[in-house]
Amino acid sequence: MDMNLIIDVGNTYVKLAVFKGDKMKRKDVIKLQLLLKHINLLKEEYKSINKVIISSVGELKDKDVSYIDKQFDLILLNSKTKLPFKNLYKTPKTLGIDRIALVSASVNLFPEKSALIIDAGTCITYDFVTTKNEYLGGAISPGIRMRYKSLNNLTANLPLLETEIPNSIIGNSTNNSIHSGVVNGVLTEIKGVIQQYEQKYSDLTVILTGGDANFLSKQLKSSIFANSNFLLQGLNYILQINSN
């Protein structure tokens, strides 16, 4: 069986995963400048890699894409790529490709379920898909680190703190007040959004993913904690449906 290579390009780092069918055989995280060198190493080790998908929100050079395209059967994910769901977003060309991948993973792993996918990263994104695999949209709000940084950047005296679960809702110092405001604010927001969706869609599957998911999952009991490979699984599924 041919293997798939999944390339998820961020602003600084690239995640690469080798899939055989639905099973992930390998995952690497590398600096962007090492991408082509690493692809050549993977090609040498996994000679049956044939198809590649690239999801890029970072600065991937055209010449690098061209090089990969010459080596493999390549799909560069964009708004025109065939997807496993019906995209009813009013501005489909502006829908982030990371959000496309997450919705695809949800449709694949939780078929015919109304699902709210919460991606807690730099931003917190909320994406909703119906039981009929119709993507309706969602929301975007500032992530945890963005909130800490904005308090420091946009005020004269507030310090920049590391993320920390507050001991109490009542902050008894400036630092504790910031932790309470940021972390409890995020948790209250997420719980409130889930509650609003649950009132409208009774049988709702809530999926939590992203860099801060592990930190938040302990506080959010009503969600399914998706592993850190959720987005990569979504990209692999998009590649599979475009290969048939």
- DSSP-derived secondary structure letter, 93: G
Strand segments, DSSP code E, in 89-242 are 114-120, 123-129, 134-142, 204-209, 224-225
Nearest residue to 212 (alpha-carbon basis) of 133, 127, 123: 123
Length of the chain (residues): 244
The SS3 assignment for 96 reads coil
Please list the active-site residues.
98
The SS3 assignment for 22 reads coil
- Residue carrying structure tokens 């109490």: 168
DSSP of 25-86, one letter per residue? Answer: EEEEEEEGGGHHHHHHHHHHH-TTEEEEEEEESS---HHHHHHHHHHSEEEE--TTS--SSE
Measure the CA–CA gap between 135 and 241, rounded to whole angstroms: 17
Nearest residue to 98 (alpha-carbon basis) of 113, 117, 73, 75: 117
**Residue 29, Cβ density class (10 Å: 0-12 exposed, 13-18 middle, ≥19 buried):** exposed
